[in-house]
Structure 1
Amino acid sequence: MFDILNELKPFLPDKEKQAEILANLKAKKEAKPKLLKHKNIECIFLSLDARKKSKKCIYKYEDIEFNCESEIGFLKKLYPDIKVNIFCTEKTQKTHKYHMGQKLIKITNDEKLFSQISNHLKLKTQYIFIINNLKNHHLAKALNLVKYYNIELLDFLKLKNKVQVSKIQNEFDESYSNVLFALNEFENTLKMPFLDTKEPLFLAFKDFSKFLLLGNYERFISAYKTIITITTSISKTSIFKPFKEHILNIFKRFGFDKLNITKSKANSYHFVDFKNFLIVAKLFYDKSYYLNSAIMLKEGINLSIYKYFLDDFGGKFSNNDKQIVFWYVFSEIERYNELSIDVIKHIKLLNQARAKVSDVRNAFVHLECGMDYELLIKELKICLDTTELVFLKSALSNLKQHKHFLISKVKEILQNRQNGYENTNKLKL
């Protein structure tokens, strides 16, 4: 044997060349995807809605890359012995063919989906659950399965011509469950419960809830845009990362991005702001968020009437004082003989609309008082329709000629209050 090797020496590369060849072989070996072999590993794939046929692209998982046409195709390359359980409906069943190691399980009831899935799971089997096909309300139930079975959640994120595959980490952490609970509460009520985190996304959620509750249209729209921006480019370390699609779907359902919002111009109020409030109030009503609809309508009425006069008050008065006096004058307008019958009639309509919306809003807040919920919904719809007629288009035409008179009355009361305050301070001195 040694004789043969000695004879081959002249034909072998020198030591440096041998080292280079070995290095290249090692690099190729490390670059080659490592196929993972597990005897008892299965995939859970939900096919509940018709999906567009995916195109072939690169799927990347950690340092492994494959050119595949689908999530299942990628998993079959990664785990050659994997068994695939496809839970499908009567419609989607036709899109899947019977293959070796692939089982089609027909879903008979969407509400009992996860109880059906659990009936097919075994304690000693390792499962991979593809979460991309989960609906929002299914995510919590998927997490419950993780507590009892050996399930790994995989997220497939499409980035241009590449699909990034990643594990959902820390599914047993308390923070993970808390985030899910908070997002579900937000989806149901548009209020974000407290979380022990200072993440920018959570703070944006808090701002959205706060400004919506205050009826601050401009700031809640700004908070919404911030949420979308942060969520779209969310970091891998964020506790919200597993819920990226869940968050985007919540706001997609509202359609805030499609709102036909009109920008306000300085000193040109003409109820532009009220129109925006009304658009959002209608949106919330259509999505069954009735309290939020009533809040937006109430604040829209308050702000739009007040803003029309705001710049003309002058003087060193606080905004709160201006509003209190303004609404006092506006509600007592009938006793001023200087105004025409038509103007008084129109102001009555404005006051009635404002009072009615306020009552409806308060009733939604205190539903435990025994109010008929369906009746309240009908009353809110009447408020939306009525205020739209009273406020839009020629809403201020009857008030325009008497605007100066109304402002003078407000300024008169404000000045008297200011003088009284100054005289009181002099007496104290």
Structure 2
Amino acid sequence: MNSYQPKTAQGIILIVDDTADSLRLLEAALTRYGYEVRSTVNGSMALMAAKAVAPDLILLDIKMPDMNGYDVCSALKASPVTRDIPIIFISALDEVFDKVKAFALGGADYITKPFQFEEVLARVDHQLTIRQLTQGLEQRVEERTAQLKQTLQELQQAQVQLIQIEKMATLGQLVAAVAHEINNPVGFINGNLSCAKDYTNDLISLLRLYQDKFPHPGSEIEQESQDIELDYLIEDLPSILSSMKKGVDRLFQLSSSLRTFSRLDAHTKVVFNIHDGIDSTLLILKHRLKANDKRPAIEVIKNYGELPPIECYPGQLNQVFMNLIANAIDALDELQTKKSNELNKDYLPQIKIDTDIQYDKEIVIIRIRDNGIGMPSKVKDCIFDNFFTTKPVGKGTGLGLSIARQIVVEKHGGSLNFSSAPEQGTEFVIELPMS
């Protein structure tokens, strides 16, 4: 017996699912709690049913034979008759489900198979409540309109925060796992390299001793020594081992940076060195800073002040640094692509990172500036809006700067501001309280 009792328990719900068992289970559960339920088994029928008698809510399966859920959602949102109907996507746990795409197309929420019926009821009830509030806006007096809009904004912020938490948890676990997997074999190689170096030196010493004691070992050995270039081998082998040691040290450094970046401390603030977070982010993005066929290497200029460790959520701040620096690289690439024939040959793409303390306000200031494409006014007005992006489809979600501001402002009590002009670059300024 389910303990959750819906507050709404009314409204017409259209279920679209080509799996008969899922359809029966959802229909039975929702009917039991007082909802009027209709069902279809494919996207085409769903579009006709929704336009014939508009439901209050649609539960829409992603994977269907004639039209997938994304296509059905797009068609529903394109029609003035059905565009305001909230849609909850249905996806099996073992199916690939692009949540950001689903929200961007207009989806309101999602549930996964196998169903947890209390969760289904809660999400259905939540969306129907929102729909009732939305429909009531036109009937409310003017002074209530602002309050309802604020409620919707808070709901949207809560939705974005849920995405952020899930994204950070997934990313942090993945990065931490990669760092752990790197450490084991690299540690093994590092330990064996030390022994290999000692063994090599011992063998070379023994070989030198043989050469001293037996300068004429015979034509066969002398010929073999010439064929394998013995003198060069003796000289080069220690250098090879030293190069391998440098490579191992570089992997250790990368692993350490990954662990620093993936700090999962969502519930409590800890003391953290801001410079460690920035440096770990730069190391992870190092491959994007290198020269490519469109531009020279990006120069990173760091002017670090004497910052004390501050109380913060390191994993979340690292996400902010990652987003701002990655955006700066994108801006430099975009400028080079659009102005490749006009740029001065002496132009060098740069990212400047400055840190400082403002003692009178007890705040830490981080400035991240690029000399890239910059932003026009119409873009500057929207960059912190949820799901707003200027990047091509598949290149950006429109959540990066929105989440960054939420982390800085709401989680840390700081501020995130910027200045930008077309083809003059962009500077973001983060201010964080020292405690």
Normalising by structure 1, report the TM-score: 0.30
Greater per-residue strand proportion? 2
TM value normalised by structure 2 = 0.30
Q: Which has the higher helix share?
A: 1
